[in-house]
A and B are shown apart, each in its own frame.
Chain A
Amino acid sequence: MSKKSMWTLKLSTAAIALIPAAIGINYLGKLFAGLLKLPLWLDSIGTVLASMLAGPIIGALSGIINNVIFGLTVDPISTVYAITSGAIGLVVGVMAYKGWLKSIKTAIVIGLVVGLVAAVVSTPLNIIFWGGQTGNVWGDAFYAFLVSNNFPVWLASFGDSIVVDVPDKVATVIVSYLIFRGLPKNFISIFRGSDKIEEL
Chain B
Amino acid sequence: MSTMTLYVDKKSFIHHVAPLTKLLYVMVSIAITYIIPKLEFVLFVTLTSLLILAIGKVFRKILPILALSILLIISIIIVQGFFHPENQTVLYSIGFITFYKEGLTFAALLTLRVLNMIMSFGILILTTKHDELVEDLIKKGMSPKIGYVLLSVLQLIPQMRATMGKITDAQRSRGMETEGNLLVRVKAFFPLIVPVVLNSLHNTRERAIALEVRGFNTKMKKTFLNLSKEYQYTKTIQSILWAILIVTIAWRILS
Binding site for B on A (CB under 8 A): 11-14, 16-21, 23-25, 27-29, 31-33, 35-39, 42, 45, 49, 61, 65, 68-69, 71-77, 79, 128-131, 133, 135, 137, 140, 143-144, 147-148, 153, 175, 178-179, 182-183, 187, 190, 197, 200
Contacts and interface: CB of A to CB of B under 8 A. Distances in A.
B209 to A, nearest CB: 7
A133 B149 CA distance: 32
A11 B10 CA distance: 40
B185 A14 contact: no
B140 to A, nearest CB: 16
Interface string B112-148: 0110011001101100001000000000000001101
9 contacts: A13-B211, A20-B149, A32-B192, A35-B178, A72-B121, A77-B68, A131-B84, A137-B71, A137-B75
Interface stretch (B212-220, B230-238, B246-254): B212-220
A73 B6 contact: yes
A178 B190 contact: yes
A197 B205 contact: yes
Contacts of B201: 18, 21, 183, 187
B185 A38 contact: yes
Nearest to B130: A72
B216 A13 contact: yes
Instruction: Bin chain B's interface residue count.
Output: 35 or more
B82 A144 contact: yes
B164 to A, nearest CB: 6
Given A65-B149, A72-B130, A23 B157 contact: yes
Contacts, number: 182
A17 B79 contact: no
Contacts of A153: 85
A71 to B, nearest CB: 7
Contacts of A148: 82-83
B34 interface: yes
B76 A130 contact: yes
Contacts of B85: 147, 153
A13 B212 contact: yes
Contact of B153 (A20, A140, A190): A20
B119 to A, nearest CB: 9
A37 B179 CA distance: 9
B188 interface: yes
A23 to B, nearest CB: 5
B35 to A, nearest CB: 12
